[in-house]
Amino acid sequence: MQPEDTPRFQDWAEVYFKHASKHMTRPERVDDLLRVVLRFWGARPIREHGKIRIVEGEPYHDLRLGDVVADPYWIVRFEDWMEARGVASQTKNQYRSVVSQMFKLAASPPYRKRTGILTNPFAGIGRDRTVERTTTVTVEELRRWLADASYHIRLALAIAALAPKLRLHNVLALSPPLE
C-alpha cells in the first residue's frame, strides 16, 4: 500500500487503545501516553474536549502509519522531539513502546490487510538506560507510621519490607485475616 492508503495515527490510536485496554489493569496509563505521542504523530485537535488539550508549540504532523514505514527518518525526528522536550529516559522508553505496540498490532494478521503494515519500524530501536530509584525510611518514621496504622496497613508494610518487588495492586488486595 501507499502511505496515504494506511490509517492515520489519530485513527489507529483509537483501535490500539480499545485492543490494549482489554489486556491491562490500568488502561488510563496508555491513554495518557497516547495523548502525548499523538502531539507528534497525530493531527492537531480541532478544539479542546475533555482530556484532549491543544498544546501550543507541538508539531501535530498528522501522519499515517505508512509514512513511517516509507520514511524511517520520522523515527529520528520523533527522538529529536522527545529530546527537545527534555523527556526522561524511562518516559522516552514508554513513548517508544506505545508507538511500537501500535505498529505491532497493525502488522498482526487480523489487521495486516486493513492497515497495509507488514513490519514494525520500531522493532530493534534501542531503549535508554534508566536509573532505579531507591527510597529509604528512617526507623523513627516507620515507627510513627506503624503507631497510627490499621492492622491491614501494618501487614502490607511488613510484606512490602520483606518483598519490595511486589506489585501495588497485590498489596492493596490483601485483606485482614478472618477472626
Tell me, yes or no, if the pTM score tops 0.95: no
**Exposed (0-12), middle (13-18) or buried (19+): which is 148, by Cβ within 10 Å?**
exposed
For the residues 133-138, what does the mean pLDDT come to? 75
- Evaluate whether 37 touches 92 at the Cβ level (below 8 Å): no
The predicted structure's pLDDT at residue 61: 95
How do residues 31-85 score in pLDDT, each as one tens digit?
A: 999 999 999 999 988 876 667 777 888 899 999 999 999 999 999 999 999 999 9
Q: Which residue has the cell 522516552?
A: 92
